Structure 1
Amino acid sequence: MLADRAGPSRDATRRPDSMAVASFVLGLPGLLVLNVVLGPIAIVLACLALRGGTARRGRAFLGLGLGVADLLVLAALTAANGTVAWNFG
């Protein structure tokens, strides 16, 4: 009852912050592996975090940038090799 009068609960304010961190954490390895999956997930999580009013706006924007970079890497690989698979040597 006291939490209702005090404002939003801690879980409601931590959720957008967690999404901002998750977008950054998923966008970073997406540059090397599974960029077709991790890139869009990072973009969606960053947008949801920004819309939710996260206190970690910088981290959300980094996650958004990394998600877009993931898709650009995917487009470059597809243009170079004609496939989404990495090819060494």
Structure 2
Amino acid sequence: MALTALNPSPARTHTDSAARRRDADGMAVASFVLGLIGLLLFNAVFGPCAIVLATLAIARQTQRRGRALLGLALGFADIVLLIVLVTMDNTVFWQFG
């Protein structure tokens, strides 16, 4: 009985890796969405979140690697936008017109 706890069955390992990959795919999509929203709203919050989620998704070998890379790029764009806004007019807000 103790041996089965130390040595999981192949079926359990397969479902665990499938669930882990599904979680990584969700992280890739979430990083993309947060990076995209961060260009318009709360880029100081959403940018770093997008970077962290994209990095975790890539590290966990997501099948949505392109989306994770887009989320990573958008997260960095959010940070650059924040720096530009603070440098130009000493505020983190921007508006049209």
Q: Fold conserved (TM > 0.5)? A: yes
- Supply the distance in 2 between the matched residues of 1:9 and 1:80 (Cα, whole angstroms): 47
> Which consecutive residues of structure 1, in runs of 5 or more, have no partner in the other structure?
none
1:16 and 1:52 in contact (8 A); partners too: yes
**Equivalent residue for 1:19?**
27
Following superposition, the deviation at residue 13 of structure 1 comes to 1.6
**Equivalent residue for 1:81?**
89
TM-score using structure 1 length: 0.88
> Which consecutive residues of structure 2, in runs of 5 or more, have no partner in the other structure?
1-8
- How many residues are matched? 89
- Supply the distance in 2 between the matched residues of 1:22 and 1:16 (Cα, whole angstroms): 10
Following superposition, the deviation at residue 84 of structure 1 comes to 1.2
**Equivalent residue for 2:45?**
37
Query: What code does the residue aligned with 1:20 have?
Result: A
**Equivalent residue for 1:46?**
54
1:57 aligns with 2:65: yes
- Supply the distance in 1 between the matched residues of 2:83 and 2:75 (Cα, whole angstroms): 13
Query: What code does the residue aligned with 1:71 have?
Result: I
Distance 1:19 1:86, change over 3 A: same
Q: Give the number of the structure whose alpha-carbon radius of gyration is greater.
A: 2
Residues 41-82 of structure 1: per-residue CA shift (max 9 Å, x gap): 000000000001111110000000000000011011001111
Distance 1:65 1:11, change over 3 A: same
